[in-house]
Amino acid sequence: MARRRLEGLRLVVTGASQGIGKALVDAACRRGARVLAVARNAALLDELKQRLAAEKHPIEVLPADVTSAEDRRRMVQTAHDRFGGLDVLINNAGVGATGHFVEASPDRLRRIMEVNFFGLTETTRCFLPLLRQGRTPAIVNISSIAGLRGIPARSEYSASKFAVEGFSEALRAELAKWDIDVLVVAPGLTQTNFSENMIERKALMQVDHMRGMTAEDVARATLRALERGKTRTVLTFQGKLLAFVSRFLPGLADRIAARKVRSLFKEEIATRKAQRVSARERNPSGIPPATHSSSST
């Protein structure tokens, strides 16, 4: 993995209008990078551009959706036209949802995978020709601690981030022949409006994101990893502890998660047990009652 200076490097950041993406654009510009900020919300991008321009940190912005093939082509063309190429792609765009899988629609899973995985992989595919010509080129995939350990009521989001982890590991080896680094950053809870932008929020236990790291802290850690060429970065003490327990004590992690789910659904579980006891009392043998049929001759 190469070490690099951000000053003068050409970056594309997706999901750049809010949260971690916005903080990444801000921090990278202040370190002298040339940044193309990409997001769906044109108004928020314009606000970001005007603020940084007023502070003498100009950026390029492009309203685009990573799930759109046409928008991905426009992203590549814009980077080529404005910068003459690309050095670093930061795949940050993402979406989530909470609620148990059994209660979710198939559409929810497909929407999450479309943004978090297919949007990321296809954006990467489109930018590879430019990255091959870049200076100390790198791809940075923003994952999550949910990509290291599946989290109840976040099964689809966890699945999408596990997919990002696997894709990144394989791609890292494949792109070694072109000296393109692939880095993964796994934030824990982060103080953003991510939960407000979820597709659905149906989990019984809501997570307080305001207890986590700031988006600015995540951005600084991400850019530091990029500068140092650090392959994997897991953030927050809780995130590192979760990664450790999941890797070395997976059975313990399973029991803790199951215990938490049972505590949340204790009334439902108690009702179901009572119904089973009542059914056994009515029919101790457990043999289904015989059905009577009549026949005519």
- What positions carry a catalytic annotation? 157
Helix or strand run (H / E) with residue 91: strand 88-91
Residues 98-117 as b/e (b if ≥16 CB within 10 A, e otherwise) read bbeeeebeeebbebbbbbbb
Paired tokens of 154: 């976040």
Paired tokens of 291: 């059905």
Q: What are the DSSP E strand ranges found in 110-152?
A: 138-142
Question: C-alpha dihedral over 271, 273, 274, 278, to 10 degrees?
Answer: 140
> CA separation (Å) from 120 to 10, 124, 165, 258?
19, 6, 12, 31
CA atoms in the 13 A half-sphere facing the CB of 192: 25
